[in-house]
Amino acid sequence: MKITENLQDTLSFYSIDCRRSYYISSGNPILKFPKTSFRMDYYTLCICTSGEIHIEIDNEKYHASANHFLISAPSTIIKFLKVSDNFKMKLLFFDKNFLIKNISNPFIIEKMNLFTEGSYSVVKTAEEKSLLLQRLLDYLKEKSDRKGKFTDEIVRTIIFNILLETAEIVEAQKGDLLEKEEGKKDLFLKFRKLIRENIKEQKSVAYYAEQLFVSSKYLIEIIKKASGKTPHQVINEMLLKEAYVMLGNPDITISEIAFQLQFNSISAFGRFFKKHTLISPSQYRIKENIQS
* Spatial separation of the C-alpha atoms in residues 60 and 38, rounded to whole Å: 14
Q: Model pTM?
A: 0.67
Question: What is the three-class DSSP state of 120?
Answer: strand
Mean pLDDT of the chain: 86
The model's pLDDT over 89-108, given as tens digits with 9 standing for 90+, comes to 998 989 888 898 878 778 88
Residues 6+ apart with CB under 8 A from 73: 40, 43, 109, 110, 114, 115, 119, 120
Q: Give the residue with greater pLDDT, 18 vs 34.
A: 34
Query: What is the tens place of the pLDDT at every residue in 42-96?
Result: 899 999 999 999 999 988 899 999 999 999 998 888 888 999 988 999 989 898 8
What is the tens place of the pLDDT at every residue in 222-246?
Answer: 998 888 899 999 999 999 999 998 9
> Which one, of 254, 246, 242, 252, lies nearest residue 281 by Cα?
254
Give the highest mean pLDDT range of 25-29, 114-118, 141-145. Answer: 141-145
Q: Determine which of 12-26, 162-176, 183-197, 273-287 has the lowest per-residue pLDDT on average.
A: 12-26
Per-position DSSP letters for 217-246, written without gaps between them: HHHHHHHHHHHSS-HHHHHHHHHHHHHHHH
What pLDDT, on the 0 to 100 scale, is given for residue 195?
A: 93
pLDDT at 31 over 80: no
Q: What is the pLDDT of residues 268-283, one digit of tens each?
A: 999 999 999 999 999 9
Which residues 6+ apart lie within 8 Å of 260 measured at CB?
200, 246, 252
Is-contact 159 92, C-beta < 8 A? yes
Contact 189, 110 (CB under 8 A): yes
- 153: pLDDT strictly greater than 90: yes
**pLDDT: is 106 or 195 the higher one?**
195
Task: Determine the pLDDT at residue 292.
Answer: 63
Residues of the chain with pLDDT > 90: what percent? Answer: 51
Q: In what helix (H) or strand (E) does residue 65 lie, and over which residues does it extend?
A: strand 60-65
* Structure-model confidence comparison of residues 111 and 122, the more confident one: 122
Domains of the chain, earliest start first: 7-174 (2.60.120.280), 182-287 (1.10.10.60)
What's the confidence (pLDDT) of residue 1? 32
Q: What is the pLDDT of residue 5?
A: 47
Is residue 22 pLDDT above 90, yes or no? no
What confidence score (pLDDT) does residue 189 get? Answer: 87
d(CA 270, CA 41) in angstroms, rounded, equals 27
Handedness of CA 174, 177, 181, 183 (dihedral sign): negative
Residue 178 is predicted with a pLDDT of 46
